[in-house]
Structure 1
Amino acid sequence: MRDVQQRLALPSLTALAAFEAAARHLSFTKAAEELNLTQGAVSRQVAAVEAQLGLKLFERVRQRVVLTAAGSAYAGEVREALARLTAATVNAMAFRGAGGILDLAILPTFGTRWLIPRLPGFFQRHPGVTINFATRILPFDFAREGFDAAIHFGEAVWPGARMHRLMGEVIVPVASPALVARHELAEVADVLTVPLLQQATRPRAWGLWLAAQGLSADRAVMGPRFEQFAMVAQAAVAGLGLAIVPRFLVEDELRAGALVVPFERPITSEEAYYLVYPEEKADRPALAAFRDWLLAECGTETAGRTE
C-alpha cells in the first residue's frame, strides 16, 4: 500500500517534461514552442509540480524566470530520469529485432580504427543485435551512465565490473617523412631535438619510451597535447612533431607512407585493452554474443604476435 502511495505522489510525465524544458530554456515560452503547447499550459504543468512537491521551483527576477536552488537540483535529476526513460523505451522497441541491444562505450580511436571495421563479421553472425555506440575516454559509473559494457584501456581495475583482457599494445615513435628529413633524425638521441606530441590520457608514454632508450625524460611531457590518438596521428602526418602511439592504430598511415617509424625501438605497454561490464548484465544475450565474438576476434588478431 505504501509503494502505491509513493507512486501516486509522483508528478505526471507530462508535467515533468514541461518543467524540464522550462528549466533548460529558462523560458516558459520556449518550452511551450518545443513541446507544442501554449505558454499557459506549460505554466499550469509547472505549477502542478510545485504544488505536488510543496516547493517553489522558479522565481521571477527582473522580468525573467530563474531556478531556485531546489529547482536547479531537481531539474538535473528529472533531466537524467527522462533521458533514461527515453533510452529504455527505445531499447524495448529494439527487442522487436529479436536479438536485443547493446549500449557500448568505446575509446574513440580504438573504435573507429580497430573495432568498427571488424563489426560486419559480428553482424553477419548476429543480425538481430543492435549496438549503440558512445565514446568515453576515462572510466565511469555504469549505474549512472547506463551503458551495458565498455572498451577500457588501463589496468585490470574497475570496481563492481567483470573484465576480459582483449590485447596489449606495442608503442612506437612515428613521424612524417618530411619531418624526419628536415630534422635529419639519424640517432635515437635526435628525438630530443623535435617537438614531442602528447596524448592526454597517456601522459607517461613518452617518459617510458625515452627511459627505455636510456635518454633523459626532462622533455617527456612538453609539446602540443591532444585528446585522442586520431588527432595525435593526424598532427604527426602534418609534420607537427613526433608522436608516440600504439602501432596497430596507425597501420594505415604506415602502409600509405604518410608516417614512418624513424627508430625501430618499440616498447610494450604496461597496460592493456579490456572489455568491461557490470556483473548483473553478464548473461544478457546481446552482451554475451558480443563478448564471445570480441574475445575470439582478439585471440585471432594477437595469435603469434608479440605484444
Structure 2
Amino acid sequence: MRTPGDSDDVIVVGGGVIGLTTAVVLAEAANGRRVTVWSRDPAAETTSAVAGGLWWPYRVEPVDEAGGWALRALRALSRLAERPRETGVRMAEGVRAGVALEELGSWSAEVPGLRPARAGELPPGVAHGLRARVPLVDMGVHLRYLRRRLEAAGGSVVVRAVDSLETAAEHAPLVVNCTGLGARELVPDPEVYPVQGQLVIVENPGVEEWFVAADGAAAETVYALPQPYGLVLGGTAREGVWETAPDPAVAEAIVARCARIHPALATARVVGHRVGLRPCRSRVRLEAEELPGGRRCVHNYGHGGAGLTVAWGCAREAARLARDATRRGDGG
C-alpha cells in the first residue's frame, strides 16, 4: 500500500492557512499531479488556528505587492462567504479606527464600500476611522474546509516533521515551502522573526460589529472580533518574543483596553486565552529556487500578521512559480 508522501508530484511543507490554501490551488490545477501537505502539527495547532480571522493587510511587506495579493484573497473569500457554515467565512461590518484612506496602500481603492466612518459610527473617544464590510473568518472551521477541499481534489495531509527541504525533495520533484516561522531554521532564513500576539476570548455581551485599532509599529493593539465561539479581544504585537504561554497580566490589560470601547466587556466572562507567533520578515519570500540535487522549490512564507489576508493571492502566485519551475525542470 502506498504511504502518502512517498511518491508525490508536489509536497507542500506547512499545514497552516498558507500551506493548505496553496495546496488547494495546486491540487485543483494539477492535471493529475498528486499534492501532499507535510505538516509538523495538525492544523488546529498551527499559528493560523489562533488568528482572529479578520481580512485586513497588517504587518506584511512589500505593501504594494501585498495589496494585490490581498485583493485576490478578498475576492476568493467573498465567494466563500456565500457558504459561511461550510467555509467559516462571512462578510462583517466594522470600523478600522485611527486611519484615513490616504494612509492606506493603493489596494484600498478597490475594496467595495470602504469609506470614512461618520461620527455616529465611531465609539466614544475615537476621533476618526474607516467603515468597511470585509471577510471575518472562523479559522477552525476554515482550516477544516480547506483540508476537505484539498482531499476532494485528490490531495492529502500528513502530520510529519521535516528536518530539511532536501528531505522533502527526496519524495517529490517539486517542494513548496510554506513553513512560516519554521523557515527560520528549515531554510535556514535568519530574516524570519516572531511577532507575538496574545488575545482573550470572552462571552459576547452583544457586540455585533468588529473594531480594530492597530498601529503597524505598536506593541499593543485594540480589537474586538465577534466570532461564533465568542468575542475575540486583542491584543499584542511584541517583536522577537517567542513565548507561547498566555500572560495573565497582559490578558487583563487587553480586556481593560477593549472595555474602553465596549464597557460591557469589563465584566464579560473569559472563556479562553490564545497566543500565536506571527511569522514576520522584511518582505514576503515568494520565489523559486533549485535545491541541491536539482529538485525545484517554491518559497511562500513571511506573511506576518496577514496570512489569511493574502493566502489566496500568494497561493495563485506560488502556483504560477511552480508551473514555471516544473517547465524548467522538464527542459521547457
TM, length-normalised to structure 1: 0.28
Higher-Rg member (1/2): 1
Structure with more strand by fraction: 2
Higher RCO, Cα 8 Å, sep 6+: 2
Structure with more helix by fraction: 1
TM, length-normalised to structure 2: 0.26
